[in-house]
Amino acid sequence: MLYIGVDLGTSAVKLLLMDEEGKIKNIVSKEYTLSFPQNGWSEQNPKDWYEQTILGIKELIKYFDKSQIAGISFGGQMHGLVVLDENDEVIRPAILWNDSRTTKETNYLNNVIGKDKLSQHTANIAFTGFTAPKILWMKENEPENFKKISKIMLPKDYIAYKLSNVFCTDASDASGMLLYDVKNRCWSKEMINICGINENQLANVFESYEVVGTLTKDIAKELDLDENVKVIAGAGDNAAAAIGTATVGEGRCNISLGTSGTVFIASEKFGVDENNALHSFAHSDGNYHLMGCMLSAASCNKWWIEEILKTNDYNKELNNIENLGDNKVFFLPYLMGERSPHNDPSARGCFIGLSMDTTREEMSQAVLEGVAFALRDSFEVAKSLGIKIESTKICGGGAKSPIWVKMIANILNIKVERIESEEGPALGGAILAAVGCKEFTSVEEAANKIVKVIETIDPDPVLVEKYEIAYRKFAKIYPTVKNLYPELM
């Protein structure tokens, strides 16, 4: 049998076809546009997601036996606000995870409603990227659109709805809305009241590996597939990536170097960081996880290489980096504000330590190191909770860079395991589809059978010592400059 995984990313949808043994048969990617109507705003048209997903599926399965396709599932960008009216028409462009317009609403939730109450109701506090503050923003700034809302959904769930006509979400993705009681795996009535909505506007919640329905007759006809092809709930992109890297089971860790960057720590038990510097979410295996998320990771490198250096030759730029641990230039990677652990939407990127002899290579190196240092910020919070992590998987576009992976191994002082496929969320989606179709008895069984480690990068004690000194310097920069950020907005 064949299974389709759909990774609905920020810049493109990636589709992956996997057989019952976990072998990847085909991969297709389709891009769509991202708009920034105002400073700090980030939006997309959900119809673009759907159109490119349909085109991508057609291309993905074109040369395969379509009768063998059994299921389809998803990983998708989290937190985005997608709203439909009573006719199932999109009311306004989706407000994305990296949108920072909701500073006022986030402050209201954290300071008036109170962080303790939010954590009690949802296991998390408010961040500008979360869905609940966006709902409050829409209520205040677009009241006519707010009144039209019939369905509130997340990006991947819009695709699931278009394919199956089932209004659904999953526990991992719902966890990032600030509307979901993570501990008890249900919608929070208190948060629903605070946001001025009703539970009928929210989807039915499934576990990530559960079947929500099958393809509609029209979709099946358009894709030339059987109507009995199952649609499985899927997961938020980081939870899906965790499945695609076998980050399942107590204390297992995955670092994602995608547009955003995350440190994902799986747990069999529910737990909350007392300062809420890390997110406490449901995992797509039916358990839980802690996660630190930075808003700009590989996107920092893309910005630096393409927008500033005006080249597409990533290898040439990164292969010239030589003196690891000795760089005197530092970079704060907060190009879209920052989430974990600072929760500061006004934060912005900056270089510091430049001199007349600073080279292009040192600045490129500083960008990569800045992202790795920021990931360590979340890693340090996890360590403060007594969590011992000796190794991590790694995925995302940045994982393809040997020099970046080496930096992470030494800056975090842990073994980094590269896996056979770095497709993360798309592979995780395909695995969830296979589990939903009973190809495997559990998510853990499927992930452990399919995901294979091909290389382990060990930290070098000499570099670890150098980077320890460098990290302590990096950690002083944000506290020193943070009060300037509001003045620069």
Residues annotated as part of the active site: 237
Name the DSSP class of 202.
Answer: B
Task: Give the 3-state secondary structure of residue 151.
Answer: strand
C-alpha span between 192 and 356 (Å, rounded)? 56
Output 52-59 pairs: Cβ under 8 A, ≥24 positions apart: 52/12, 52/13, 53/6, 53/8, 53/13, 53/15, 53/159, 54/222, 54/223, 55/30, 56/6, 56/13, 56/15, 56/28, 56/29, 56/30, 57/4, 57/6, 57/15, 57/223, 58/223, 59/15, 59/28
For residues 71 and 135, is the Cβ–Cβ distance under 8 A?
A: no
For residues 31 and 52, is the Cβ–Cβ distance under 8 A?
A: yes
Six token digits for residue 202: 């929210």
For residue 130, give every residue at least 6 positions away whose Cβ sits within 8 Å of its Cβ, in sequence order, or none.
Answer: 79, 106, 124, 176, 177, 178
Question: Closest by alpha carbon to 450, among 59, 5, 30, 74?
Answer: 5
C-alpha span between 297 and 237 (Å, rounded)? 15
Task: Give the 3-state secondary structure of residue 325.
Answer: coil
Name the DSSP class of 50.
Answer: H
Question: Closest by alpha carbon to 210, among 76, 69, 73, 5?
Answer: 73
Q: Which segments within 123-194 are labelled E, that is strand?
A: 151-153, 168-170, 180-181, 186-187
Helices and strands: H and E segment counts in the chain:
18, 24
Count of beta carbons in the 10 Å neighbourhood of residue 479: 9
For residue 178, give every residue at least 6 positions away whose Cβ sits within 8 Å of its Cβ, in sequence order, or none.
Answer: 109, 118, 122, 124, 126, 130, 131, 132, 133, 191
C-alpha span between 61 and 27 (Å, rounded)? 10
Residue 6: exposure state from Cβ atoms within 10 A (0-12, 13-18, ≥19): buried
